[in-house]
Structure 1
Amino acid sequence: MTRRIPWVPLVMVGLFVAAVAYVNPFDAGRDAPPRPAAGHAAHGDVADGLSDNHDGYLLSPVALPDRRGDAIPLAFRIIGPGGAPATAFDAVGSEPLHLYVLRDDLSFYQHLHPTLAGDTWTAAVKVPDGGVYRLYAEFVPKGGAGGQHPTVLGTPFVIAGDTRYVPLPAPASRVRAGRFTVSRLEGTADAAAGRPDIMRFQVRDARGAPVTALEPYLGVYAHASVFDSTTQRLTHLHPTTPANTRAAPADGVLTFHTQFPQRGRHRVFLQFKVAGAVHQAAFTVIVR
């Protein structure tokens, strides 16, 4: 199904994305919006990327993508509680800041590590089609009250013109990731909202043998981001064991702690590294 995203005033973005404040990506010269008071967040104490502010930190876009392409410039600042750009963060998985880009139908996901230039974070992102997208900036404030719990700030942007909507795939127990096959060992079983549990994935090669040569990626053997299909809320699955405490799993099985915050359909984006290359698999999970 094809839908057209018109060139409308960006104040109408609220028609596409509910309950978020939008920043005009084409007006790079305007001042940043008023900063929230320290400790304020639109979604309570959880930093899930649905707000551009949390605990006094503000995501301030400098240049958001405005067209399709494989390497579209993106730039933003993180404004700290004192009103100045914040640039020093504790590492999260060996990186000071993680950037995620997601289309609203969950058909596209990209995970990048921006470069700091002065007080501005920059990256080149892929924009494969039109539609409504959201970027997420994840970091841990240095010495902040949040301890090691990452802060996740988000803001939407729109790529105008014709775009093809992609329905969310049904739950599957096995998906392809390049030359690898990744299986969810729980099959298509539903997950329970609000309850701690585990989720296991096994990576196999083209011959069907377990991959024993998984390499550390961001301090772990796999990274997993989870997005709610209705709200695009971001949560993470946490590996049970860091990569620096044991050898790669001999059976190719990657185990994660889970605790889904709410019911609904979710998309899990799993990334793992083999022979220096990062591969990605995506699973739909129903949470009840």
Structure 2
Amino acid sequence: MRLPTLLIAAVLTGMSGAAAPVDPAAPPQLQLRFHHLHYRVGDPARAMNHAAQTLGGTRILLQGHGVGVQVDEHYALFDRFQGEEPRSTPGAAEAYAEAVAWLQERGFSVPGDFPGARLAAVLPGEYLDHVAFEAQDLAAARDRLASAGAAPDSERDEAVLYRIPGGFGVELLAPGDGEDAFWCPMHPDVRSAEASATCRLCGMPLVAIPPPQIGEYRMDVTVQPAPGGRGASGLRLVIRHPDASAPVPSFAVVHERPFHLFIVDRSLDYFEHVHPEPAGEGAFELAHDIPPGEYMLIADFLPQGGTAQTVQRAIVTPGHDGPLMPPAPRLQPGPTDRVVGGLRIAIDAAELAARKEARIQFTMFDAVTGVPVTDLEPYLGAPAHLLIVNADLTEALHGHPVEQATTGPTVPFAPLMPMAGAYKLWVQVQRGGRVITAPFVIEVVER
């Protein structure tokens, strides 16, 4: 993802306010600007949701950096604790001041006023791992710190992290290359400054980024009891605007439908991909039998003139007599191939890593002959569909293949996994007019 470029509002020239003498032999100062605060927390999804709701920010996933919230031009990102939980942390303003002093001593120009105060105000008790700055020239910044005797704690092509006295980190990031004005409505993290660009994941032309909509769309759900009071015979869903709670008047058709709905039970054994029909005034209706139980509804839709939305809502259908909110199932990676609907589907998820661009690939064979299948049919405007969830259903990703014209035998996807851990997924393809669904469990690692 391209990182946004910002204007530096001020340069700290001296603690006293007076101009410091200029040494003509000194190397020129390198410009830095504040980019984000990076926290380590017990539950990244919960921390992200809390920050977004409190600040009215936008949930984001910065490729290679992590999940978090954008407020104005800055970010707070969240990773899970690795190993023992730290016991203390500097405050964000204190950490920023120490980072600025450390960098200025080594020849960098950094704004002295802390621009992330609004972000930090709602996260006072969280562990701040490091403060990140964008460098206009990352290679020159690396060289400057190396000449000053600073050794990196970790480094990648686009970022380098240093630990400074006190234990917390200072991270330098490669610069962005232009303000992103266009994005993919299905993959909002794919952005470009060019109007003619296309999505590298699904091939769709990028569209203009609409004005930000503060808050989240809401989905009201009415469960229609089945005859006899056991289970549901259907659902009525109403989508409401974040600001005025008014029903959304119109929706874009994406992959042949204006509304995609996944129904998954808490044990992750029940799975349905269905499409409620428009009923006017922001409402959709679904006639579908759902057994007694506790479910998560995962809705995927695109309001006209808005951005792609994934909204979740838990429901309990009539007749459910089990415990509410049971512990999440323990997911164990299982077989790497499945025989379903006349196909043997093999999965290769070895490349997947948290917050990294990587592919997951499915290969299709005829279950009887073993011959690779090359006659897959489009299903809802795509060669396949993929839903990925974590064990407690707090994370959900709906994706489509990166090769839009494939008919098999290989069907690759490029999901950007938000964090390490076990996930369950369902891949859906169509062959001979029949939709075939195969479940798998995978483990995503840190790299």
Q: Normalising by structure 2, report the TM-score.
A: 0.47
Written as runs of structure 1 = structure 2, the 5 A alignment for 1:126-145 is 126-128=289-291, 130-144=292-306
Offset of 1:40 from its aligned partner?
Answer: 5.9
Residue 179, structure 1, aligned to residue 338, structure 2: no
1:61 alignment partner in structure 2:
221
Superposed CA deviations along residues 72-101 of structure 1, whole A, max 9, x for unmatched, are: 211110012443211411222121111111
Residue 248, structure 1, aligned to residue 407, structure 2: yes
1:89 alignment partner in structure 2:
251
Aligned counterpart for 1:267 among listed residues 412, 424, 440: 424
Residue 196, structure 1, aligned to residue 353, structure 2: no
**Partners of 1:65 and 1:169 in 2: how far apart?**
34
| Higher RCO, Cα 8 Å, sep 6+ | 1
Offset of 1:223 from its aligned partner?
Answer: 0.3
Kept in 1: contact 2:267–2:329 (CA 8 A): yes
**Partners of 1:54 and 1:183 in 2: how far apart?**
42
SS at match of 2:407: coil
1:74 alignment partner in structure 2:
235
**Partners of 2:384 and 2:330 in 1: how far apart?**
26
Amino acid at match of 2:321: G
Kept in 1: contact 2:262–2:298 (CA 8 A): yes
Offset of 1:172 from its aligned partner?
Answer: 1.6
Kept in 2: contact 1:268–1:284 (CA 8 A): yes
Amino acid at match of 2:314: P
Kept in 1: contact 2:352–2:359 (CA 8 A): no
- How many positions carry a matched residue from both structures? 237
> Over the residues paired in the alignment, what is the CA RMSD in angstroms?
3.3
* Structure 2, unaligned runs of 5 or more: 1-44, 47-52, 60-67, 71-185, 187-212
Written as runs of structure 1 = structure 2, the 5 A alignment for 1:1-288 is 44=69, 55-63=215-223, 68-69=230-231, 72-80=233-241, 81-119=243-281, 120-128=283-291, 130-144=292-306, 146=307, 150-159=308-317, 160-162=320-322, 168=331, 170-186=333-349, 189=350, 191-206=352-367, 207-242=369-404, 246=405, 248-249=407-408, 252-288=409-445
Superposed CA deviations along residues 109-134 of structure 1, whole A, max 9, x for unmatched, are: 11111111223211133434x43211
Point out the structure with the larger strand share.
1
SS at match of 2:418: coil
The change in CA–CA distance for 1:38 and 1:135 in structure 2 (over 3 A counts) is: farther
The change in CA–CA distance for 1:253 and 1:74 in structure 2 (over 3 A counts) is: same
The change in CA–CA distance for 1:54 and 1:213 in structure 2 (over 3 A counts) is: farther
The change in CA–CA distance for 1:267 and 1:112 in structure 2 (over 3 A counts) is: same
2:16 alignment partner in structure 1:
none
**Partners of 1:64 and 1:208 in 2: how far apart?**
45
**Partners of 2:332 and 2:289 in 1: how far apart?**
22
* Structure 1, unaligned runs of 5 or more: 1-17, 20-35, 48-52
Q: Which has the larger radius of gyration?
A: 2
**Partners of 1:94 and 1:75 in 2: how far apart?**
20
